[in-house]
């Protein structure tokens, strides 16, 4: 069997948080194209249903939609019950849900700080923990967390200290879980995208001046595309990455290299 065949995900069961749109939907699409069955998890259940139906229609896979708030342990537990009821097992978790608030640190309220940390860091912990419990019993599994190049650098000109701190936390959380579970069959890695031109980002009038500045600063003079994150996630989800754990993959067009 060649490398292309060995990178297929046929029969694997995967959940994607924040999977209804943007990066989550793009990566979920790649998982489906590689043969995996999917649970699309999102607060927006209507969009999650649309995405699941689209993936089922376009690929010979099973896809379900689950509404969940990743900051609530009871929602995450319920999510896992639905996944196991539908699929019987869990092979891959893409813990991707996240938000950003551009607010000067001296003006940020505690509630604003807490919301970003709760979704971006605590939400990743809760979903990775839930996935890990199932995978540890199975003796196998791969967890992929979405961090950011913002966990490595301080973005400018926008003020986003809570986002930067949360994503740095995701990177260290990923490494910590990887070490704890290394001998028990569960791998944990994260991706750190640079500026990615999702539909939401590109259509936001308030972000247009920032996008222009980001592109001027970027070595490639452009934002990344959601599909440019697909192949690394398919690799991390599959068996060919069996020696890869505790790693952070920066996909930023060399933005952090300058």
Model confidence pTM above 0.95: yes
For position 161, which CATH number holds?
Answer: 3.40.50.720
Burial degree of 140 (CB within 10 A; 0-12, 13-18, 19+): middle
Give a yes or no: residue 32 inside a domain. Answer: yes
> How many structural domains is the chain composed of?
1
pLDDT band at residue 168 under the 50/70/90 scheme: very high
Percent of the chain with pLDDT over 70: 100
The pLDDT value given to residue 249: 98
Give a yes or no: residue 26 inside a domain. Answer: yes
Read off the tokens for 78: 């319920």
Report in angstroms the alpha-carbon separations of 136 from 17, 142, 187, 242: 20, 10, 10, 15
Chain centroid to CA 91: how far? 15
Give a yes or no: residue 165 inside a domain. Answer: yes
Give a yes or no: residue 257 inside a domain. Answer: no
Give a yes or no: residue 258 inside a domain. Answer: no
Residue in 26, 142, 148, 162 annotated catalytic: 148
Whether 87 contacts 36, CB under 8 Å = no
What domain range is 18 assigned to?
3-252
The pLDDT value given to residue 206: 79
Q: Is 204 tagged catalytic?
A: no
Q: Is 142 tagged catalytic?
A: no
Give a yes or no: residue 196 inside a domain. Answer: yes
Query: In which residue are the tokens 């990066």 written?
Result: 23
Which pLDDT tens digit goes with each residue over 79-109? Answer: 999 999 999 999 999 999 999 999 999 999 9
The answer for residues whose C-beta is within 8 angstroms of residue 178's C-beta and 6 or more apart is 187, 188, 189, 245, 246, 247
The answer for residues whose C-beta is within 8 angstroms of residue 50's C-beta and 6 or more apart is 20
How many Å from the N-terminal Cα to the C-terminal Cα in the chain? Answer: 41
Residue in 12, 162, 163, 241 annotated catalytic: 163
Q: Is 167 tagged catalytic?
A: yes
Whether 229 contacts 26, CB under 8 Å = yes
């Amino acid at each position: 069997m060649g490398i292309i065949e060995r990178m297929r995900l046929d029969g694997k069961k995967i959940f994607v948080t924040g999977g209804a749109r943007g990066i989550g939907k793009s990566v979920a699409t790649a998982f489906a194209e590689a043969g995996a069955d999917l649970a699309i998890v999102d607060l927006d259940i209507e969009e999650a249903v649309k995405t699941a139906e689209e993936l089922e229609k376009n690929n010979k896979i099973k896809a379900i939609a689950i509404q969940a708030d990743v900051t609530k342990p009871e929602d995450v537990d319920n999510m896992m019950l639905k996944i196991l009821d539908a699929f019987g097992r869990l092979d891959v978790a893409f813990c991707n849900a996240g938000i950003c608030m551009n607010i000067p640190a001296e003006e940020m309220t505690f509630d604003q700080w807490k919301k970003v940390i709760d979704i971006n860091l605590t939400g990743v912990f809760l979903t990775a923990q839930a996935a890990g419990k199932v995978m540890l019993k199975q003796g196998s599994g791969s967890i992929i967390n979405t961090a950011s190049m913002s966990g490595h650098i301080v973005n400018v000109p926008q003020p986003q200290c809570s986002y930067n701190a949360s994503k740095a936390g995701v990177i260290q959380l990923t490494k910590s879980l990887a070490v704890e579970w290394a001998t028990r069959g569960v791998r944990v890695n994260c991706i750190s995208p640079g500026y990615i031109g999702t539909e939401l980002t590109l259509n936001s009038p308030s972000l247009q001046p920032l996008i222009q500045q980001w592109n001027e600063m970027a070595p490639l003079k452009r934002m990344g595309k959601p599909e440019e994150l697909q192949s690394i996630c398919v690799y991390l989800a599959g068996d060919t990455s069996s020696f890869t754990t505790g790693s952070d993959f920066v996909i930023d067009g060399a933005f952090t290299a300058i």
